[in-house]
Structure 1
Amino acid sequence: MIHTPVALTTAGATWQVAPELIDRGVLGPDGPPLAEWLATGEAIVIKQAPHCTVYRVILPGLDFHLKHYHPADARSRARSLLRASKARSEAERTRAAGTRGVPTLEPLAVGESSQGSYLLTRTVRDALTLTAFLEEELPRFGARRRARIRQRLATALGRFLARMHDAGVVHDDLHPGNLLLRLGADDEAELYLIDLYAVRLGPPLDWHRSRDNLVILNRWFVLRSARSDRLRCWTAYREARDLTISRQTIRNLEHRTLQSNLQFWRAKDHRCLGGNRWFRRVRSAFASGSAAADMDRADLAPLLADPDEPFRRPGVVVLKDSPSSTVIEFDLPVGGITRRVIYKRFAVTRWTDPWAALFRPAPALRSYVMGHGMRLRGLPTPRPLAVWHRKRFGLCHEGYLLTEKAANAVELPDYVAGLDRLSPAKRQAALHQLIDKAGRLLAALHERRLSHRDLKGANLLVNAVPWFVSSRGAVEHSEAASETSPRPQIWFIDLVGVRRHNRLTEARRAQNLARLYASFHGRGLITRTDLLRFLRAYLGLGWAGASDWKTWYVAIARAFQAKVRRNLRNGRPLG
């Protein structure tokens, strides 16, 4: 486990320690002086989770990480009597993986006590987790260097995974956060496997076991990397293991990744209802619901005490006022920063609505859950902050939804109309860019088994605030300056009509696209050529071959005509 370890006992804890740590006085009579290191700044918290805390400690001549596994409950303490502690198990697996030739960390010490177990590992200098590098460091580089690093990293990752699987190492929690990256000379990538408690060791993996492990990693990359980079990675993996893997096999890997992601997303969709470190439940004498953890209770208390008070404020900006809902905007502290927020009240329009909420989510709750669900799936929508309902006799009545406002955003048809102030050549270039982006975005919506039955132009906003898919889903970058930016971003709003599907039919997809077309019909904003461009961009993500656009064109036209007839019967305008 540790080269020539020394056994020690300190303050009720037993330790296996590398002699180097004893020589440097890292362990005192009470174990590591963690409180002292934190007070002097020699230690900082890297990760805080219910099951463990990770610190980085930098002492003169020694840099290491200390992981403290917390004893969760009496049951986990009882289990520790029958098997090795988590720290000891991780140290043994780390040592074994290193012996098999997989680059990983160097264990320095293991401690076990009634207060949990401890693992000390030497820090890999100048290394970041692959997640941190891809999300924070890589975007800062110039375009040419960024492309070079991406390509070399894809190849290095493929070879690293091949080396890992040839060594019989399977990591059941394989994601970029459990890989360290250090850039060497000429931006060559060096990778290290970490957090090896979830590792299993055995003989070299056959293709089926390898594929299942690759799917776990690919769940992260399929939303955040180009297909060319993933193909480069799989090609390097195949060549390093001397496997015969066809392109059809790689397509099957991508398909299995999508299926795995669909299961993962469904399992996480209701996490936003509270009871974890990201979300919590909120309640008052008049309302109850859920809120994001960074919403201060003191800021939410007035809204929970009287949910209708903001609608009575003098001069409040009213965005919509209809029998079914009222929408306003105002300023509210969010995470310690004052932001513009949207506040929507869902009215009870029929006496059956409270009873129906017993069997299906109410509109406010559905919008809140699907807002977080869409962001989890890498689809851009303003972040839902909180939701609550007035309760009477245990039934949900009026619902209230609080979301961040998309900054400097305009509705999609208005944005397209605003392009007329550009020269013809610039307008065409900007419109084509927007059409391609919209087609790919709606294809991603449908690929991830979501539909939006009210996908009208007013429910798609355009601004210049860039976003990216972080480890927790779609996240906004800093705000951009102009709504006519050459890089427009499209956001979904008004998510009452969003639904999850196990199988999304072509008829449902055609209805969504026809609803969007209805927002542009008769306004002279787009041509038939623009419609064809949009359709080919939509089909380019793989729902059907690009040559099959005529079949889709006819299906959308039929869905649009059905929409026209339905609106005529109901006396509603088309828009």
Structure 2
Amino acid sequence: MMSSEDVKKETRRLDLGPYRGEVGAQYDDPLFVAAIAHPEEIWARPDAELLLDKRNRVGTVRVLLSSGLSRGIVVKEFSSRGIIRLKSLVQPSKAARAWQGALALNERGLGTASPGAYLEKRSRGLVELSFFFAARIENADEIRGLFRSLPAADLEPLLSALAAFLSQCHDRGILHRDLSDGNILVRKDDSGRAVFYLLDTNRVRVRKKLGGFRRSKNLIRLGVPPAFQRDFLRSYFGPKPLRKAHWFWYRMNKVVFTGYVGLKKKLRLRQIARFLRIQ
């Protein structure tokens, strides 16, 4: 694992007109910096592919480097309005948090998209726009689709490998506050082993220690099929027997969370929050 000092040495501050941010050593290339210097114009590029356009925008572009090689880059534009914008007076932008979260994962040897850079534009201390740039992970699948499509014989080893990966994340102090199916990618390496990558790294937090109950609760957003949930938790806790208290805590929070999500959809709370510009 890399030390925090090594990570800091491999980044450089950026000052691009109204935008401030950082760039990683692997992407500290004049052509890459020039390509992201006006991030709000990226979506007009002919090669830009918009993948999501809701509260935030997510898309991909290809950037030519000085070496003559090109890299696929995922761009995430974070909106800043309402309460979120007010919070930016005292908090880093979402793009800055995505950057910090990705560096924290790299530092601990955990899988995520290689962070390229982040930029933010502020006015009177408030964030107006912020962008996070990371490498596109090729030949990888969201685990969400695999949960639904894989037969039991293939799903069981995937869940076992996922449980081991997430246990390792927690052991190393990583708490992802939106640990859902859409934020984990998986691909097979040359030996056929499953390799996992955490996305949405602005939701990553670093903690000194995570207890069993907090760990269990952190897993409830994952759409593990009900028939596999107990075995998934057994695999997560490893050689230690699964405590009844941890299983009860997981199931109770799972039921509450599922009910909350259903109620939120029924009442359209997210649409109301957007209309009132508080989210």
What range describes the TM-score normalised by the shorter chain of this pair?
0.7 to 0.9
Which whole-Å CA distance do the structure 2 matches of 1:448 and 1:302 have between them? 35
Which AA in structure 1 matches 2:30?
R
Which AA in structure 2 matches 1:391?
R
1:457 to 163, 181, 202: 181
Asked if structure 1 preserves the Cα contact closer than 8 Å seen for 2:102 and 2:115, the reply is yes
Q: 1:547 to 1:344 in 2, by over 3 A?
A: closer
Larger Rg: 1
- Give the corresponding residue for 2:247: 553
TM-score (norm 2): 0.85
1:534 to 229, 232, 238: 232
Alignment of 1:65-464 (within 5 A): 267-268=4-5, 271-272=7-8, 276=9, 278-295=10-27, 296-304=29-37, 306-314=38-46, 316-323=48-55, 325-333=56-64, 336=67, 337-350=69-82, 352-420=83-151, 428=153, 430-464=154-188
Encode CA deviations 1:357-410: one digit per residue, 9 max, x unaligned: 242222111111110111111111111100010132344321100000111111
Which whole-Å CA distance do the structure 1 matches of 2:102 and 2:44 have between them? 27
TM-score (norm 1): 0.43
- Give the corresponding residue for 1:511: 217
Which whole-Å CA distance do the structure 2 matches of 1:335 and 1:362 have between them? 30
Encode CA deviations 1:345-367: one digit per residue, 9 max, x unaligned: 001121x4444224222211111
Which whole-Å CA distance do the structure 2 matches of 1:302 and 1:535 have between them? 44
Asked if structure 2 preserves the Cα contact closer than 8 Å seen for 1:415 and 1:462, the reply is no
Deviation at 1:459, TM superposition (A): 0.6
Deviation at 1:335, TM superposition (A): 7.6
Q: Secondary structure at the match of 2:110?
A: coil
Q: Secondary structure at the match of 1:294?
A: helix
Which whole-Å CA distance do the structure 2 matches of 1:297 and 1:393 have between them? 30
Q: Secondary structure at the match of 1:537?
A: helix
Q: 1:436 to 1:455 in 2, by over 3 A?
A: same
Identity, in percent, stands at 24
- Taking CA–CA contacts closer than 8 Å with sequence separation of 6 or more, which of the two structures ends up with the larger relative contact order? 2
Deviation at 1:569, TM superposition (A): 3.6
Q: 1:321 to 1:342 in 2, by over 3 A?
A: same
Encode CA deviations 1:181-236: one digit per residue, 9 max, x unaligned: xxxxxxxxxxxxxxxxxxxxxxxxxxxxxxxxxxxxxxx6xxxxxxxxxxxxxxxx
Asked if structure 1 preserves the Cα contact closer than 8 Å seen for 2:21 and 2:119, the reply is yes
Q: 1:547 to 1:560 in 2, by over 3 A?
A: closer
Asked if structure 1 preserves the Cα contact closer than 8 Å seen for 2:143 and 2:181, the reply is yes
Deviation at 1:294, TM superposition (A): 2.9
- Give the corresponding residue for 2:260: 566
Which AA in structure 1 matches 2:176?
H
Q: 1:487 to 1:302 in 2, by over 3 A?
A: closer
Gaps of 5+ in 2: 269-279
Q: 1:500 to 1:454 in 2, by over 3 A?
A: same
Which whole-Å CA distance do the structure 2 matches of 1:538 and 1:453 have between them? 18
Kindly tell me the number of residue pairs found equivalent between the two proteins: 265
Which AA in structure 2 matches 1:532?
R
Which AA in structure 1 matches 2:215?
R
Encode CA deviations 1:146-198: one digit per residue, 9 max, x unaligned: xxxxxxxxxxxxxxxxxxxxxxxxxxxxxxxxxxxxxxxxxxxxxxxxxxxxx
